[in-house]
Amino acid sequence: MDANVALATPPVIRRADYQAPDWLVPEIALDFALDPALTVVKARLTVTRNGAHGRPLRLDGDGLDPVSIAVDGEMLADAWRMDGPVLVIDLPGDAHVVETEVRLSPETNSQLMGLYASGGLLCTQCEAEGFRRITFFPDRPDVLSRYHVRMAADKTRFPVLLANGDPVAQGDGPDGTHWAEWHDPFPKPCYLFALVAGDLAANRDHFVTRSGRPVDLAIWVREADLPKTAHAMQALKTSMAWDERVYGREYDLAIFNIVAVADFNFGAMENKGLNIFNSRYILADPDTATDADFDAIAGVVAHEYFHNWSGNRVTCRDWFQLSLKEGFTVFRDQGFSADQGSPAVKRIEDVKMLRAAQFPEDAGPLAHPIRPESYIEISNFYTATIYNKGAEIVRMLHTMLGAARFRQGSDLYFDRHDGEAATCEDFVAAMEDATGEDLAQFRLWYGQAGTPRIRADLEYDAPGGRARLLLSQLVPPTPGQDAKQPMPIPLRLALLGEPSGKEVVAEQLVVLKDAQAELLFEGVAERPVLSINRGFSAPVVIESNRNATDLAFLSANDPDPFARFEAMQQLMLDTLVAGVATGQVDHAPVVEAIAKTLADPALDQAFIAECVLLPSEAFVGDQLLVVDPDAIALVREGLRREIGTQLEKAWRGAYAGTAANHYAYTPPAKGARRLRTIALGYLAVSGAEDADDMAWRQYIDADNMTDRQGALGVLANGHAPAREKTLADFYKRYQADALVLDKWFTAQALSTRPDTVAAVRALAAHPDFTLANPNRIRSLVNAFAVNQRAFNDVGGDGYRFLGEMIVAVDQINPQTAARLVPPLGRWRRFEPVRAAMMRSELERIVAVPDLSRDVYEQVSKSLV
């Protein structure tokens, strides 16, 4: 058995082994005879030898059988061979034309990589390595080609035929078919190739670039969904203008198409001139999409659009450089979203996301630097570390250089590498060359994994009017990296005088470069309180000697909104952690701080809403050496109840003050809706008799999905008769709308009720549940796995359920299955009984024969 496992162990790809491609492909012509059951793909590659070597041409394939192969017009009989899935051809000269033909079956492609069928459409997904499932090709991002695409299909079933670039010709063919030709003038790596065929309708619009070039915009959806595309279109136009203004980047083709598909592994894909989206990031109207959905749509539309420069015009040399395009593009979309609404609230949301998804990754068995050293399956590296920590690292450059110099750096990067496949090193070098800043030590951020812990202790000598700040940093060990070097940590900090609330030391940017540092401040006339890592200037954990009084003071007085939120979070966290450790919870400081925040007329409701929420059970667990989910739930629930009961009047006031009026998608109206449901949640835990009734009224009277889903979420946690009534009504109303039905599954999967595991098992057998649709899997299974109580149910059935799902989904869609593994991978952090159950679930999975590389990598690494 061990020998078999060793034999079957998939190869490890290493960054250090990078070699330039042996052969380049400057031109490719593709010809598709499209049919869901049997599609014929003919490819014509112009290949040129790259450098002086005698090596053969190696073309990647995955599940492909060559039907025919020709070189320079001659059919080859024996000058080719298969090396596993790779087609190897010996070529005598330095330039040749290679033609291949393969057959595909899109309708049975359940992995959703390559060419596949979704709801009657045919579409492609090629990033990272899906193009090799369509045709034989050197499937690596540093081979850039000009694409000519011809496709033919049945005209009735597939009236719309789209590919990258510009349409150049179209016409009718035999037997009810028609055809179209597209040409993309920009050389691109094959992961950016796309085509779509189907019965689609377009929301069309228009944009004129700042240099006066007209661009036709179209969002393609099923005809019935057209009314739900207005928000995405608005976001597209706004992001095009934003990228011109903030980064000086203009769009470069005459057409920009977006297509929405129902079955999609990730969020969306930036194929050149033809973005393909998971429909959940396009379709929205107030009745079916929440405020969070609207925000996410704008963010993802912007993200994919911004990739046209950060990803497409300048692409990645190899997949180890993935964060070059993803981290930078997330930073860009975060800036865009911040500019559309409240920058402070956006920053809070981004940091919460980082803490929920990336910090645990950085602290667990799958930790990796933003530029990894090795992988088994690259799809597993589309992680919160590559994306969100990657964005934080770009943000630190922005903070240290300042906006103007950062812009000089990004201009130089785009100019220097336009049309090239670049590296993270190229990005840092451009920042350095444009600004003269020495970024030698900063490069450590690209190679070292783990979240740095910063110790910050402030001492005050009152008679001398002196304050001394002792700073130190520790980058914890991570798999394969035992010893770490100190990194530059940019900390925006100030000292606030207590009680005046004035800055006794004005804000400054301190870059902690060494393991330890000491800062002295003179002339400090008032007791100072430390405000540090303002705006979350570095993605680190801060530990300090600030007590509950200091934190409460900051939560009421810090002029930096993020720091103010953060002080409240830290106060809550300290209270909860102490509660778990001692069994005693001192509610008063938290209750009082929340009361003050609720009553502060200077604060907007969206910001208040963020401040008054307790940190999640998962985040509390992340602070502890040994996680006991029952203890955490008990203490947190107790604190929630106190906040609800003691502040009942304030919550009623907040609820009344945010009473539903006519729906508008504006920052104040969004803030009101958010605070309203939070107030309802506190009233519900306080045991207020009318809370269930209020929730039902909110649900039934709502003129928007935010209020409706909010009320459903509150009711889902309880046992009131209104719960079943609401769930049944929701199902009946939205049964036909897959994206809304996902919310029905999620509301139940997130319930804090003790019977949730059984309920989720029953939902997995519901006729509307399917493993064929990734959104539906995520709505139930991924949601369940973040539900700390149900997933960690002490009987162990939550772990078993997830294990069963991983194995079942792996047969259909390995990428989606692999994304279910990390919650089990956290086993080491749990108390021994649960740790043993989680571990044995992973062992059961790894013993399953024919596991995908995707799941194998995640499970085997989680067991080490």
Catalog residues that contact ligand 0A1 under the rule CB under 6 A.
125, 127, 265-270, 303-304, 326, 382
> Going by C-beta distance under 8 Å and a sequence separation of 6 or more, which residues neighbour residue 345?
606, 607, 610, 671
Distance from the first to the final alpha carbon of the chain: 18
Least spacing, CB of residue 16 vs Zn ion, in Å = 25
* Closer CB to Zn ion, 332 or 670, in the complex: 332
Taking CB under 5 A as the rule, which mask of x and - marks residues 453-492 in contact with Zn ion? ----------------------------------------
Distance separating alpha carbons of residues 136 and 353, to the nearest angstrom = 39
Q: Please identify, among the stretches 175-183, 236-244, 327-335, 506-514, the one whose residues bind Zn ion according to the rule CB under 5 A.
A: 327-335
* Binds 127: which of Zn ion, ligand 0A1, none (CB < 5-8 Å by kind): ligand 0A1
* Binds 655: which of ligand 0A1, Zn ion, none (CB < 5-8 Å by kind): none
Tokens in use for 481? 């990296």
Least spacing, CB of residue 330 vs Zn ion, in Å = 7
* Closer CB to Zn ion, 180 or 316, in the complex: 316
Q: Please identify, among the stretches 328-336, 532-540, 675-683, 716-724, the one whose residues bind Zn ion according to the rule CB under 5 A.
A: 328-336
Distance separating alpha carbons of residues 389 and 643, to the nearest angstrom = 33
* Binds 363: which of ligand 0A1, Zn ion, none (CB < 5-8 Å by kind): none
Q: Please identify, among the stretches 326-334, 412-420, 443-451, 821-829, the one whose residues bind Zn ion according to the rule CB under 5 A.
A: 326-334
* Closer CB to ligand 0A1, 35 or 854, in the complex: 854
> What DSSP string runs through 633-667?
HHHHHHHHHHHHHHTHHHHHHHHHHT---S---SH
Tokens in use for 778? 């995520």
* Binds 716: which of Zn ion, ligand 0A1, none (CB < 5-8 Å by kind): none
Q: Please identify, among the stretches 318-326, 468-476, 695-703, 852-860, the one whose residues bind Zn ion according to the rule CB under 5 A.
A: 318-326
Q: Containing H/E element for 508? A: strand 503-512
Least spacing, CB of residue 212 vs Zn ion, in Å = 29
Q: Containing H/E element for 777? A: helix 774-777
Taking CB under 5 A as the rule, which mask of x and - marks residues 329-358 in contact with Zn ion? x-----------------------------
Please report the sign of the dihedral spanned by the C-alpha atoms of residue 357, residue 358, residue 360, residue 366.
positive
Q: How many residues bind Zn ion (CB under 5 A)?
A: 2
* Closer CB to ligand 0A1, 235 or 764, in the complex: 235
Position 525: which residue type?
Answer: A
Q: Please identify, among the stretches 323-331, 488-496, 609-617, 703-711, the one whose residues bind Zn ion according to the rule CB under 5 A.
A: 323-331
* Binds 187: which of Zn ion, ligand 0A1, none (CB < 5-8 Å by kind): none
Distance separating alpha carbons of residues 864 and 839, to the nearest angstrom = 10
* Binds 782: which of Zn ion, ligand 0A1, none (CB < 5-8 Å by kind): none
Distance separating alpha carbons of residues 77 and 101, to the nearest angstrom = 14
Least spacing, CB of residue 343 vs Zn ion, in Å = 22
Least spacing, CB of residue 618 vs ligand 0A1, in Å = 25
CA distances from 827 to 346, 424, 450, 831 (A): 32, 33, 18, 9
Helix orientation angle between 691-701 and 705-716, rounded to the nearest 10 degrees? 150
Least spacing, CB of residue 141 vs ligand 0A1, in Å = 11
* Binds 269: which of Zn ion, ligand 0A1, none (CB < 5-8 Å by kind): ligand 0A1
* Closer CB to ligand 0A1, 387 or 651, in the complex: 387
* Binds 368: which of ligand 0A1, Zn ion, none (CB < 5-8 Å by kind): none
Establish whether 304 is a catalytic residue: yes
Where residue 167 falls (left for φ over 0; alpha for ψ -120 to 50; beta otherwise) is beta
* Closer CB to Zn ion, 327 or 621, in the complex: 327
Apex 650 CA angle, 635 and 590, nearest 5: 35
Least spacing, CB of residue 126 vs ligand 0A1, in Å = 8
* Binds 673: which of Zn ion, ligand 0A1, none (CB < 5-8 Å by kind): none
* Closer CB to Zn ion, 414 or 651, in the complex: 414
Considering the candidates 304, 326, 841, 857, report the single residue annotated as catalytic. 304
Q: Which of 390, 376, 264 is nearest to 322 (CA)?
A: 390
* Binds 861: which of Zn ion, ligand 0A1, none (CB < 5-8 Å by kind): none
* Closer CB to Zn ion, 281 or 553, in the complex: 281
CA distances from 10 to 111, 368, 849, 850, 853 (A): 19, 19, 13, 11, 7
Backbone angles phi, psi at 574, to 5 degrees: -60, -40
Least spacing, CB of residue 306 vs Zn ion, in Å = 8
Backbone angles phi, psi at 141, to 5 degrees: -70, -10
Least spacing, CB of residue 125 vs ligand 0A1, in Å = 5
Q: Contact at 8 Å (CB) between 209 and 131? A: no
Q: Please identify, among the stretches 56-64, 321-329, 410-418, 532-540, the one whose residues bind Zn ion according to the rule CB under 5 A.
A: 321-329
* Closer CB to ligand 0A1, 217 or 300, in the complex: 300
CA distances from 570 to 47, 412, 564, 604, 675 (A): 59, 40, 10, 21, 21
> What DSSP string runs through 170-187?
EEE-STTEEEEEEEEEEE
The DSSP symbol for 69 reads E
> Going by C-beta distance under 8 Å and a sequence separation of 6 or more, which residues neighbour residue 542?
454, 456, 532, 533
Q: Contact at 8 Å (CB) between 324 and 153? A: no
Least spacing, CB of residue 862 vs ligand 0A1, in Å = 22
Q: Contact at 8 Å (CB) between 179 and 173? A: yes
Site of interaction with Zn ion (CB under 5 A): 326, 329
Q: Which residues have a catalytic role annotated?
A: 304
